[in-house]
Amino acid sequence: MKRILVTGGTGFIGSHTCNALLKNGHEVYILDSLSNSSKKSLDHLKLIFSKKKIDISNKLFFFKGDLRDKEFIDSVFEKVKIKGNSIDGVIHFAGLKAVEESVNYPLKYWENNVIGSFNLFKSMIENNCKTIVFSSSATVYGNTKDELLKESADINPINTYGSTKFTVENLLRNIYEAKSHEWNIAILRYFNPIGAHDSGLIGENPLEKPNNIFPLIINAAYEQKNLKVFGNNWPTDDGTCIRDYIHIMDLADGHLKALNHLMTNNSQLINLNIGTGQGHSVLNLINTFEIVNNVKVPFIFSDRRKGDVCKLVADNLRAKKILNWYPNRSIEEMCRDGWRWKLMNPKGYS
Ligand code: NAD
Ligand code: WQD
């Protein structure tokens, strides 16, 4: 059993990862401002376990506050210490992630994602906690012509959000280089996480209007209102863009494997792509969603979205080899589980 601090733990990826951590017997300390999530996700998380007659009340702790406030982060470490314990490792999800918003409000993104991370790392150093898994993004690669993206591909973020992610990667790299025998760091570059826990109890719950394709497909199906598909003249078989969609539960499992790897091996810093290695076009995703859920997804074609790339698919061999991690949930399961979450929680957690 380890004590893990999870920043952003009530968010989409965070809540599913907390579920995986708790399932594996770890103690979870969530730090979240609730700026894009709901505290009710914790009740839903508890329900998953109580349905299996497992009591997690003394394993799951929540601290509401913001990473931009270093004293608040210090106070969380302090509260754990007062109980005679210490945090063994951190999974750092907290951050803002809307690409377009990041371009319009750069200071907001640099403050949240970079200064927030800076405060966290400083507090970790002061509390002698030197194991961390960081949420980065395939977005750091920018435009690419590679069939499958390797971790060694050129890094060239084309938007503010991507720049903040790469800056935090660099900060971690510098921290590691200064004390390379002390730190254990995994930088995970996610591709396109979708779906939900198969209980339908936790899922994606954006507080603002979503920008990503999957919650928009769900809403189009639920409200029977047109989704806009951005471009039908891309150089792909059906003319729509290709992405590497990964089931949120496989992604959560990747975090658990990364943490276990860091805790059982010598000091290191690793960058890993977390994707399935399989590409699906937008039309392919829509068609699969319609078939497995027996529901129509109305859509119209519109112009290409500014800044979109044609194809982004992970070479995930390094993650498979190093972590012994294998994403095994299909695109059909992603669509089925995402729709179940919507039908069981039409208004999310509210
Ligand atoms: P999310 O918005 O659902 O979760 C992020 C959580 O962080 C939210 O609960 C929010 O309230 C919290 N938060 C934000 N700023 C904070 C701050 N300053 N202090 C404390 N809490 C704060 O997003 P998600 O999809 O779960 O993404 C988690 C992480 O993964 C993010 O860092 C995101 O950039 C990264 N990521 C996401 C995707 C994706 O497609 N979802 C892809 C690649 C990388
Ligand atoms: C997927 C496909 C769109 C909306 C973004 C971030 C990336 C990462 C994941 C955080 C594209 C098409 C979309 C719509 C559409 N997030 N689409 N109509 O662009 O691959 O990546 O989210 O790190 O950083 O950049 O994901 O879900 O926005 O788009 O046709 O209304 O769906 O053109 O081909 P993307 P997405």
By residue count, the chain amounts to 350
Ligand 1 touching residue 97 (CB < 6 A):
yes
Gap between the Cα atoms of 204 and 302, Å rounded: 25
Nearest to 311, CA basis, from 338, 284, 293 = 284
Ligand that comes closest to the CA of residue 16: 1
Q: Which ligand is nearest to the CA of 70?
A: 1
This prediction has a pTM of 0.98
167 touches ligand 1 (CB under 6 Å): no
Query: How large is the C-alpha radius of gyration of the chain?
Result: 19
Task: Note down pLDDT in tens along the chain; length 350 residues.
Answer: 999 999 999 999 999 999 999 999 999 999 999 999 999 999 999 999 999 999 998 999 999 999 999 999 999 999 999 988 999 999 999 999 999 899 999 999 999 999 999 999 999 999 999 999 999 999 999 777 778 999 999 999 989 999 999 999 999 999 999 987 899 999 999 999 999 999 999 999 988 889 999 999 999 999 999 999 999 999 999 999 999 999 999 999 999 999 999 999 989 999 999 999 999 999 999 999 999 999 999 999 999 998 888 999 999 999 999 999 999 999 999 999 999 999 999 999 98
SS (H, E, C) 77-141: HHHHHHCCCCCCEEEECCCCCCHHHHHHCHHHHHHHHHHHHHHHHHHHHHCCCCEEEEEEEHHHH
Q: Is 280 left (phi over 0), alpha (psi -120 to 50) or beta?
A: beta
Q: What pLDDT is attached to residue 122?
A: 98
Report whether residue 112 contacts ligand 1, using a CB cutoff of 6 Å. yes
